[in-house]
Structure 1
Amino acid sequence: MSGAGAPTLELDGSGLRVVVVAASWHDVVMDGLVAGAHRALERAGVADVALVRVPGSFELPVAALHAARAGADAVVALGVVIRGGTPHFDYVCHAATQGLTDVALQTGTPVGFGVLTCDDEAQALDRAGLEGSREDKGAEAAEAAVATVLALRAL
């Protein structure tokens, strides 16, 4: 399982403003990812959380950029891309990954990466933080974003 070895983080995110930017494709998976991010942010004491929905994972970077420019301390980007029979999967995955990386580097705002890139829906469901899922990638992305804000502030 890819989550093996993940750190246990004790985070104090009180006073942080976090924007969760979430794609809309694959409702069940996305609902799980968003709920996981909200659970993790609540555990970290983050009270100022906004949710912005975009059509798909390709649109995540531009929304993340606007959130960062609008003063978010961190952005949590959530989406899911499931492999199909065309190269579309590769293009969307690359664009989302590179775009979100660019947002973080250009703005200095941490971006938690919670974009699932799966071969099939079963893999996505297993990572969505739903009852019976083995992993909670929404929570992991939120924790990573908050932890990175705190690490940068300590520099």
Structure 2
Amino acid sequence: MQRKELVGIRRIKMSAVPHILVIEARFYEDLADALYEGAADVLEREGAKISRLAVPGVLEIPAALSMALTAMENGEADYDGFVLLGVVIRGETTHYDIVSNESARAIMDLSVDANVAVGNGIQTVENDDQAWARASVSKKNKGGGAAEACLAMIDVRDRFGV
């Protein structure tokens, strides 16, 4: 099955090179590398400048995003968008639910409240096989999909002049 193209939203070549911060949870390092490979391929193809920030796990991604937004407000950083990458694999406890739900809610709140272009490539899966199917560039390439979403949302934001 092929991934659907973004319908109705096509990238407009910007006069400036978009600067994208990729925030990646490194808890599952091999999976993180695969997700990043997919994201970097898309961003490089589109001519984006990429900065990369590693955090320990998915639960730390919203805090890192918030810190980056504060740095932007203070004039200490300048990003056009964010690609968020990580994997949460269900275990034997409720920790999976906490990490999945709390990180998703915090990311959504930040992106909506701050009008931030975000591509959310955090994968919440049942097992390693599902994780690899989504992270692998040759399979579902969810890292690449998150990068495409980020670039599309930059265009949406720019179209509204926000």
Map of 1:26 onto structure 2: 28
Q: What is the correspondence of 1:32-47 to structure 2 with a 5 Å cutoff? A: 32-46=34-48
Alignment partner of 1:72 is 2:79? yes
Map of 1:62 onto structure 2: 63
Partner Cα separation in structure 1 for residue 67 and residue 79 of structure 2: 9
Q: How far is 1:10 from its partner?
A: 5.3
Structure 1 window deviating more from structure 2 (63-72 vs 93-102): it is 63-72
Q: How far is 1:115 from its partner?
A: 0.3
Map of 2:75 onto structure 1: none
Partner Cα separation in structure 1 for residue 155 and residue 110 of structure 2: 18
Q: Secondary structure at the match of 1:112?
A: strand
Q: How far is 1:4 from its partner?
A: 4.5
Alignment partner of 1:94 is 2:95? no
Map of 1:83 onto structure 2: 90
After the TM superposition, which parts of structure 1 deviate over 6 Å for at least 4 consecutive aligned residues? Answer: none
Q: How far is 1:126 from its partner?
A: 0.5
Residue identity opposite 2:25 in structure 1: A
Partner Cα separation in structure 2 for residue 140 and residue 82 of structure 1: 19
Map of 2:147 onto structure 1: 142
Structure 1 window deviating more from structure 2 (5-14 vs 26-35): it is 5-14
TM-score scaled by length of structure 1: 0.89
Where do 5+ consecutive residues of structure 1 fail to align? none
Partner Cα separation in structure 1 for residue 147 and residue 64 of structure 2: 16
Where do 5+ consecutive residues of structure 2 fail to align? 73-77
Residues 42 and 4 of structure 1: is their aligned pair in 2 closer, same or farther, counting only changes over 3 Å? closer
Partner Cα separation in structure 2 for residue 81 and residue 135 of structure 1: 16
Identity %: 32
